[in-house]
Amino acid sequence: MIPYGRQDITQGDIEAVVEALTSDFITQGPKITAFENALGAACGARHVVAMSSATAALHVAYMALGLGPGDTVWTTPNTFVATSNAALYCGADVDFVDIDAATYNLCLDQLEAKLAQADKAGKLPKIVTPVHFAGQSCDMKRLGALRDKYGFKLVEDASHAIGGSYDGAPVGNCAYSDITIFSFHPVKIITTAEGGVATTNDDALADKMFMLRSHGITRDPAFMQGPSDGPWYYQQVALGYNYRITDLQAALGLSQIGRLSQYIDARHAHREIYDRELAHLPITLPYQAPYQRSGLHLYPILVNADAPVSRAEAFDKLRELGIGVNVLYIPVYLQPYYKALGFEAGYCPNSEDYYNRMITIPMYAQLTRDDQQTVIEALEKTFT
């Protein structure tokens, strides 16, 4: 089975993890700081806060921005449930804005219209969280302008987009947002096994996130109430969580960062082949907006109405042919938990149409030319 995504672990990665494992620190040690510094240099952010997962990073980001009961987060339904779940963890409400039919990202026309209505009603969101789906950045200049006009906070869920760029600058530099989130799950572009980070250029937000990832505890006298009892002393000044990443994971991520641009270039080489070889089939290939260069976490295709098979039939056929296709994502509000909150089918028609037609095919840096040709031939058998 050729998977839709997979990690690439080299001998150098293994040696980096073994070095960390046999060092004096296997958690809360120097590899974490080194990983954070390297990632900050790669994406151009002043601060990087590494955590146990991207879900943890989203939760901490929302907490640091003061999200709580009575507040609302708006996001896209075309995402993994963590994007909105993290808002619910804070006691906030969630609402969804439909996707753009071309990019599959948050539709900014619909967002702008919804913001205008919410402004009149006095019900603006506290936070808007766009998702850079499949690695393609949203139009961040336009989102930043809306943030400035309406006063909400902006969190980029860039779980798919490490190594991508917007307007010539790396995704994650927070030029137009308050915080950016990355994921390092094994199917992502680089991996720490499990893990994620939050990036920001705001010193105060960074300080809050560093504390919140570790129980809300500080050893910095500047954040304590009253004098310190001595060098051993610490205080819990907020209700935080144990969302720390280990030195073993950080060592793996630090090793992989050096290959990030190589991975992105390889994915784009695969995309060019798919774009050329699949253009004649009754499927819609992923659009690439000119203002960005995607991280290409996924290569999603849509089954056209004139295709000889349905999406379900195509999925089953491709699996039978040894292609590990997947479907990402079911609109979040169609999940039973969210339906119980009052959401119903039909709320975001573009997202539902996308979900009903979508299949993601193999896309990862180490996909061989022979395996990619096998994928292409399987698609031809399925759709002709």
pLDDT tens track for 65-118 = 999 999 999 999 999 999 999 999 999 999 999 999 999 999 999 999 999 999
pLDDT at 157: 99
Percent of the chain with pLDDT over 90: 100
Q: How confident is the model at residue 135 (pLDDT cuts 50, 70, 90)?
A: very high
Domains 2-257 and 260-383 belong to one CATH topology:
no
Q: CA geometry: angle at 311 spanning 307 and 312, to 5°?
A: 135
pLDDT at 194: 97
pLDDT at 138: 98
Pick the CATH number of 260-383 from 3.90.1150.10, 3.40.50.11540, 3.30.70.590, 3.30.710.10: 3.90.1150.10
Q: Going by C-beta distance under 8 Å and a sequence separation of 6 or more, which residues neighbour residue 12?
A: 255
pLDDT at 38: 98
Q: Going by C-beta distance under 8 Å and a sequence separation of 6 or more, which residues neighbour residue 7?
A: 186, 187, 191
pLDDT at 267: 98
pLDDT tens track for 198-245 = 999 999 999 999 999 999 999 999 999 999 999 999 999 999 999 999
pLDDT at 134: 98
Percent of the chain with pLDDT over 70: 100
Question: Is CATH 3.40.50.970 the classification given to domain 2-257?
Answer: no
Alpha helix ranges (H) inside 65-213: 82-89, 108-121, 140-150, 203-212
d(CA 298, CA 271): 10
Kindly report the pTM of this predicted structure: 0.98
Residue 112, CA atoms < 13 Å, CB-side half-sphere: 12
Q: How confident is the model at residue 339 (pLDDT cuts 50, 70, 90)?
A: very high
Q: What are the domain boundaries of the chain?
A: 2-257, 260-383
d(CA 317, CA 307): 14
Mean pLDDT of the chain: 98
pLDDT tens track for 8-35 = 999 999 999 999 999 999 999 999 999 9
pLDDT at 146: 98
**Could you tell me if 101 and 118 are in contact, meaning their C-beta atoms sit under 8 angstroms apart?**
no
